[in-house]
Amino acid sequence: MTPTKQSTPISFDVFTAGLWKENPVFVMMLGLCPVLAVTNSVLNSLAMGIASIFVLVCSNALVSALRHFIPKQVRITTYIIIIATFVTLVDYTIQAISLDLYNKLGAFIQLIVVNCLILGRAEAYASKNTVMKSIVSALGMGLGFTLALVMLGGVRELLGAGQLLGYQIFSTQFEPWVVMILPPGGFIVLGSWLLLINYVQQRKIGKLIAMESASHCAVKT
């Protein structure tokens, strides 16, 4: 009698990995097309983030549930069909809720189908793990992606219009940095966030090395 294969339990690290340690934007640099295109305001960033979370969670759950029935030869095609189905639902839903928001997001809603983050998680994770673990991982990745979008959108809207979510933050004397709401502003803000995050990480690594060397010196003495 062959022993049954036991699945590893779902840990909190599965969820938090996508938030920071494996953040799809700041660490893995995935899905940069919508990151640079729609993050000229917090509202657009939130809408794209929520849409991506929905597609990511639903597609990962379905791919994981069908992973034993999808032939390897057509797995990528099948994943794209599954993702496109949920993207179509999101596309019609946003169009029904707010036509203005739909026009602002433009074709980037449909481009979620070919977002390397969505397809990559289906291929690399959902096709190899249980449904619940895939959902938890997808939710963490989606929230990490949304967090990155909002961080970029907040800075760009604040400096580019002096507002956040339509509310005036700076005084009327503030001169908006128009470049921030233009495409080059996305590159500038993304590069600035990456510089800051890498600086913080290097500081932490330096402190850990200093603590380890100090402890070794204390043991030797």
Q: Supply the mean pLDDT for the chain.
A: 88
194 Cβ neighbours under 8 A, 6+ residues apart: 26
Distances (CA, A) of 72 to 21, 31, 34, 149: 30, 25, 30, 34
pLDDT tens figures, 82-125 = 999 999 999 999 999 999 999 988 888 988 888 889 999 999 99
| 112-115-118 Cα angle (round to 5) | 90
If you ran DSSP here, which 8-state letter would residue 129 be given? S
Q: What percent of the chain has pLDDT over 70?
A: 93
Q: Are 158 and 185 in contact (CB under 8 A)?
A: no
Task: Provide the pLDDT for residue 3.
Answer: 45
* Res. 219: pLDDT tops 70: no
Residue tagged 């001169």 (tokens):
175
6 located within any domain: no
Q: Give domain status of residue 151, yes or no.
A: yes
Q: State how many domains the chain has.
A: 1
Q: Is the pLDDT of residue 171 over 90?
A: no
- Phi/psi of residue 168, nearest 5 degrees: -70, 125
- How far, in Å, CA of 20 to CA of 144, rounded? 7
- CB 136 within 8 Å of CB 60: no
pTM: 0.88
Domain membership flag for residue 98:
yes
**Closest residue by Cα to residue 123 from 52, 86, 81, 75:** 75
Task: State the pLDDT at residue 221.
Answer: 58
Residue 1: what pLDDT?
38
Residue 68: inside a domain: yes
In sequence order, the β-bridge partners of residue 209 are none
Give 37-54 pLDDT, tens digit per residue. Answer: 899 999 999 999 999 999
Q: Band of the pLDDT at 189, cuts 50, 70, 90? A: very high
Measured CA to CA, the distance from residue 161 to residue 148 in angstroms comes to: 20
CA 38 – CA 148 distance, rounded (Å): 12
- Structural domain boundaries, residue 28: 13-217
Q: Is the pLDDT of residue 10 over 80?
A: no
Looking at residues 1-7, what average pLDDT do you find?
46
pLDDT for the residue numbered 21: 86
